Amino acid sequence: MKKQLLKHIAVGLIVIIPFASCNDFLEENNPNEMSTDTFWKTLEDLNSGLIGVYNSFKNGNILAIGAEYNRSDMTWPGWGRPNTNNPYYLQNFNEAAGAPNGKWEALYKGIFRANQVIKASEDLMGTFGNEDQETGALHVLAQARFLRGLFYFYLHNSFNEGKVIIYDFVPKDEADFSKPISAAEEVQNFYLTDLEFAHQNLPPIWNKTKDKGRVTAGAAAAVLGKSYLYDGDYQQAATYFRDVIENPEYGYALTASIGDNFTTRGELNEESILEINYSLNYKSEISVWAEEQVSSTLNFTFSPVGGWRSVYPSSWLIMAYKRDSIDINDPRNQVIGEDGLPRFRKYSLRTSYSIALVDDPDMPYYQKTTAQAARFNNKETAYYRKYTNWDIVENEKDIVPSLRSGVNVRVIRLADVYLMYAESLIQGSGNVEEAMTYINRVRHRSALQLLGPEGSGEFPTANHDGKIYNAQSLMDHLMYVERPLELSVEGNAIRHIDMRRWGITKQRFEELSKRKYNADHFKFVDEKGENKTRWGSVLMEVTEDDNPDFADYVQAAVNYIESAHAYWPLPNSEIVANPELVE
């Protein structure tokens, strides 16, 4: 493991330092000595090294979206309900599981690369004799410290109740990798210091087109706000969220269409705060799965059309999306039916852009009506649209020469910040009215029915639900409706961390395990004019008297133990390799 990591910390410089093989290179030159003593001489060198740190963020193991959401209440992992052997969904994983081992290694790989750039930047700053280059070096340092802080933020919220190993130096030999874990508070203080430095020294925006997608001061503020929210410091969290929302230099705004946040359309838009950039460029000389590829393979995890369809929306989430109430006063919800007469959309815009439902007549899917485009049989009652190319191809395999996608991963977007700010207001000061304002901004963007009395708020002509909310009822809405429906399968384990910090995970699995479902058939006429049926494709929630067919989370409700499953355990690869690893 340590030899592997020693090899990987130099990968960020691969485009600059050619070598015949990893083994030969490591035998002839220590990569860290080469990097610090030979390579780092100019601002261009610093930027080249920084590319390696950004490339670390592209490693799918860092967000581990499939595994992280399978351990929440948001997904069903694979075919053939109600049976599965997925350890994350069943809550029976341990330290040998692939997801925590892969996530740990990927995060530390990024940290080691960031440490190289940080040391080199600090060594070179003050030597350039040019103000522009000194500013450029400071910006490189701030980006590297942001990414190191972000990776430690993820480690702190993912592993061992926040107790992980701190590396604030560049290891020179294998022995340097063997370090004990640090206390959770020490880890938190370490990454907060990095993020504060980034917040103070990163630009609010990058003016050059070639720099678009680099991290900014606004991204640092958003992560800082998340950290304080996760820690229950609502006042401090609100301070950073207000900076993100109100600072005109950042220029953040909700996109006109929520769908612009999920496909290649509208990438790096005004709502995006932190985004991982992918492209359809393909390096044929390396594996499609290689970390150095610039494309993503998430489309194949989620897509049922040319993909593996290995992650589905959970049953309760499908029903919640189907019940997502539209604003009947909003013209965006008025469409023309097949009979030529006006009608309302069957499902909300948020629903149609988030998941594919067999009976959704208003949103095409892979260039066809939804029912024609995908399988929708055997209790496959919905598919995620997120991360797939449903809007630009007829089949994911149409993207040749190999399995890949150019869809950027939006890690943090403004809607998330609005909802976190609303939570900080509810929990910190009980300011229900202002919190509702931000929730309703998110809902209004998708032409959803707004919360509160008719004629109230920023959008008085919109249809409202007529309810009077207090702090508890609005918080319940945030927990069980707004955040899961708006942010499903996004970011770094958002739903799992939300459930854990709210203290609802065990009871949530228990409650959901009691909900019962059947799947009805859907009949339609295909493009050839032939009558077809999608068997068991329309989900219905039923009672015991209706002879239910299946339920979700039955085994998870039994297996989940807070001390064992709230955090990933320290991975077996680290336990075996690190003799200094002690609690």
Task: Please state, in angstroms and rounded to a whole number, the distance separating the CA atoms of residues 470 and 342.
Answer: 37
What are the tens digits of pLDDT across the range 382-400? 999 999 999 999 999 999 8
Q: Residue 190 and residue 148: Cα distance in Å, rounded?
A: 10
Q: Looking at residues 151-163, what average pLDDT do you find?
A: 98
| Residue range 136-149, pLDDT digits in tens | 999 999 999 999 99
- The CA distance from 379 to 538, in Å, is 8
149-164 as b/e: b if 16+ CB within 10 A: bbbbbbbbbbbbebbb
Q: How many CB atoms lie within 10 A of CB 324?
A: 21
CB 220 within 8 A of CB 178: no
275: tokens are 């985004």
Q: Give pLDDT, residue 68.
A: 98
Who's near 3: CB < 8 A, 6+ residues apart? 26, 174
432 SS3 class: helix
Q: Residue 109's closest CA among 148, 142, 143, 153?
A: 148
Residue 200 has pLDDT above 80, yes or no: yes
Q: Encoding tokens for residue 323?
A: 């019940």
As a whole number of angstroms, the distance between CA 200 and CA 240 comes to 12
| Percent of the chain at pLDDT exceeding 70 | 93
Say whether pLDDT at 160 is over 90: yes
Over the stretch 522-575, which tens digit does the pLDDT of each residue have?
A: 999 999 999 999 999 999 999 988 899 999 999 999 999 999 999 999 999 999
In this prediction, residues 372-384 reach a mean pLDDT of: 94
Q: Is residue 445 predicted with pLDDT exceeding 80? A: yes
pLDDT attached to residue 314 = 97
Q: What is the reported pLDDT for 466? A: 98
- Of residues 229, 581, 231, the one with CA closest to residue 412: 229
Q: What percent of the chain has pLDDT over 90?
A: 86
**What is the rounded distance in angstroms from the CA atom of residue 387 to the CA atom of residue 259?**
11
What integer is the mean pLDDT of 368-387?
95
Which helix (H) or strand (E) segment holds residue 540: the answer is strand 531-542
- At 244 the pLDDT is 98
Q: How confident is the model at residue 37 (pLDDT cuts 50, 70, 90)?
A: low
Q: What is the pLDDT of residues 247-256, one digit of tens each?
A: 999 999 999 9
Task: Please indicate whether residue 254 or residue 8 has the higher confidence score (pLDDT).
Answer: 254
Give the DSSP H/E element, type plus range, for residue 412.
strand 409-413
Q: What pLDDT is stored for residue 38 in this prediction?
A: 61
- Residue 136 — φ and ψ, nearest 5°? -60, -40
What contacts 349, CB < 8 A, 6 or more positions away?
Answer: 257, 258, 259, 332, 333, 446, 447, 448
Amino acid 581: pLDDT: 87
Radius of gyration of the chain, Cα coordinates, nearest whole angstrom = 24
Largest CA-CA distance found in the chain, in angstroms, rounded: 80
Whole-number pLDDT of residue 475: 98
DSSP string, 345-370: -SS-HHHHHHEE-TT--SS-BTTB-H
Q: How many residues does the chain have?
A: 583
Cβ atoms of 278 and 407 closer than 8 Å: yes
Q: Which domains does the chain have, with CATH numbers?
A: 1-76+89-202+551-583 (1.25.40.890)
Q: Are 554 and 82 in contact (CB under 8 A)?
A: yes
The whole-number average pLDDT for the span 469-483 is: 98
Among 72-81, 155-164, 381-390, 429-438, the least confident range: 72-81
Taking phi over 0 as left and psi of -120 to 50 as alpha, with beta for the rest, 400 belongs to beta
**Sequential DSSP letters for 77-123:** -SSSTT----HHHHT---TT-HHHHHHHHHHHHHHHHHHHHHHHHHH
Encode pLDDT of 73-104 as tens digits.
Answer: 999 998 778 889 999 999 999 999 999 999 99
Position 31 pLDDT exceeds 50: no
Cα–Cα distance between 78 and 354 in angstroms, integer? 18
The arithmetic mean of pLDDT across residues 120-127, rounded, is: 97
The pLDDT value recorded for residue 444 is 98
pLDDT digits (tens, 9 = 90+) for 256-271: 999 999 999 999 999 9
Q: Which range among 28-42, 121-135, 226-240, 534-548 shows the weakest confidence by mean pLDDT? A: 28-42
**Which residue has better confidence, 444 or 35?**
444
- Specify the 3-state DSSP secondary structure of 447: coil
Show the tokens assigned to 112.
Answer: 């080691």
Quickly state the pLDDT bin for 25 (edges 50, 70, 90). Answer: very low
Angstrom distance (rounded) from CA 241 to CA 231: 15
Residues 496/483, Cβ–Cβ less than 8 Å: no
Q: Output the pLDDT for position 387.
A: 97
Span 176-183, mean pLDDT?
A: 94
**pLDDT computed for residue 443 by the predictor:** 98
Alpha-carbon gap, residue 168 to 172, rounded angstroms: 13
Structure tokens at 393: 């191809």
Do the beta carbons of residue 63 and residue 491 sit within 8 Å?
A: yes
22-36, 143-157, 205-219, 286-300: which range is least confident on average?
Answer: 22-36
Q: What is the pLDDT averaged over residues 317-334? A: 98
pLDDT, tens digit (0-9, with 9 covering 90-100), for 450-460: 999 999 999 99
Question: CB within 8 A of 449, min separation 6: which ones?
Answer: 325, 326, 327, 328, 443, 462, 463, 464, 465
Structure tokens at 321: 């999306």
Least confident of 78-87, 446-455, 495-504, 573-582: 78-87
